[in-house]
Amino acid sequence: MFGAIEAGGTKFVCAIGTGPGDLESGQIPTTSPEETLAAAAAFFRPYLGELEALGIASFGPVDLDTDSPTWGHITSTPKLPWRNCDLAGWLGRALGVPVGFDTDVNGAALGEARWGAGRGFSDFLYLTVGTGIGGGAMVGGRILHGFTHPEMGHIQIPHEPNDPYPGGCPYHTGCLEGVACGPAIRERWGLAATELPAEHPAWALEARYLALGVANWMFTLSPRRVILGGGVMQQSQLFPLIEKELHRILNGYITVPPAFLAPPVLGQRAGVLGALVLAEQARRVA
* Assigned domain for 227 exists: yes
pLDDT of residue 52: 96
pLDDT of residue 192: 95
* Number of domains the chain contains: 2
Instruction: Give the domain range for residue 98.
Output: 2-107+268-285
Nearest to 106 by CA among 271, 229, 285: 271
Question: Residues 102, 176: one domain?
Answer: no
Determine the Cα–Cα distance for residues 210 and 213; give it in Å rounded to an integer.
5
Q: Is 27 helix (H, G, I), strand (E, B) or coil?
A: strand
Question: Residues 279, 257: one domain?
Answer: no
Question: Residues 63, 167: one domain?
Answer: no
* Assigned domain for 114 exists: no
CATH number, domain of 188, equals 3.30.420.40
From the number of C-beta atoms within 10 Å of its C-beta (0-12, 13-18, 19+), residue 107 rates as buried
Determine the Cα–Cα distance for residues 83 and 157; give it in Å rounded to an integer.
28
Question: Residues 99, 160: one domain?
Answer: no
Q: For 194, phi and psi rounded to 5 degrees?
A: -70, -15
Consecutive 10-residue averages of pLDDT for the chain (286 residues):
94 96 96 97 95 95 93 90 96 97 96 97 96 94 88 95 94 92 96 95 98 97 96 94 97 93 95 97 90
Question: Residues 92, 145: one domain?
Answer: no
* Assigned domain for 25 exists: yes
pLDDT of residue 60: 86
pLDDT of residue 172: 85
From the number of C-beta atoms within 10 Å of its C-beta (0-12, 13-18, 19+), residue 256 rates as middle
pLDDT of residue 33: 96
Q: Half-sphere exposure of 273 toward its Cβ, with a 13 Å CA cutoff? A: 21
pTM metric for this prediction: 0.93
Checking DSSP bridges between strand 226-229 and strand 261-262, what pairing results, if any?
Answer: parallel
Question: Residues 8, 99: one domain?
Answer: yes
